[in-house]
Structure 1
Amino acid sequence: MAEKKLTSYPKEKINILFLENISDVAISRFSEAGYVNVKKLTGAVSNDELIKAIKDVHILGIRSKTQITREVLDAAKKLQAIGCFCIGVNQVDLNAATENGVVVFNAPYSNTRSVAELVIGASILLVRKIIDKNKAAHEGGWLKDASGSHELRGKTIGIIGYGNIGSQVSVLAEALGMKVLFYDAETKLPLGNAHDSKTLKELLKNSDIVTLHVPEIKSTENLINKNNLAHFRKGAILINYARGTVVDIPALRKAILSGQIGGAAIDVFPVEPEKNGDRFESELQGLPNVLLTPHIGGSTQEAQSNIGVDVSNKLFNYLEKGISTGSHTLPALALPPQEGTHRILHIHKNVPGVLSQVNTLLGQNNINIVGQYLKTNDDIGYVVLDVEKVLSKNAMELLKGIKETIKVRMLY
Structure 2
Amino acid sequence: MSSAANAKPVLQGVKIRPRKGVQKATAKFEPTVFRDAFISVISSATPGNLDDLSTKLDAAGNNLEYRRYAETLFELLITGRLLAPGGTFLEDGTPASPFSIFQAQDDLASIRKYVDVFHKLMRRYKYLQRGFEDTLTNLLQYINKFSPEDTNKLAMATGLFCASGLASLTVLTVLFKEHLVKEGLSLQFVTTVFKIYLIDQSVDQFGLNLYKVGMSDRLLDFFPPNKRDEDSFARHFEAEDMKQLVVYQNKKQLVLRKESIIENVKTFLEEGKTAECMTFLKAQSKESGLSEPEFIPLIWTGIMASVDWGTRMDQIDGQIVKQVQQYSKLLGAFCTSPKTEIALLQHIQVNFYEDARFIKQFRAVTQRLYNNDVLSESAILYWAEKGVKPQGKTVFMKQMEPFIHWLKNASDEEDSEEEE
**Band of TM-score, shorter chain:** under 0.3
> How high is the TM-score relative to the length of structure 1?
0.22
- Compare CA radii of gyration and give the structure with the larger one: 2
**Which has the bigger relative contact order, CA under 8 A and spacing at least 6?**
1
The structure where strand makes up a greater share of residues is: 1
> How high is the TM-score relative to the length of structure 2?
0.21
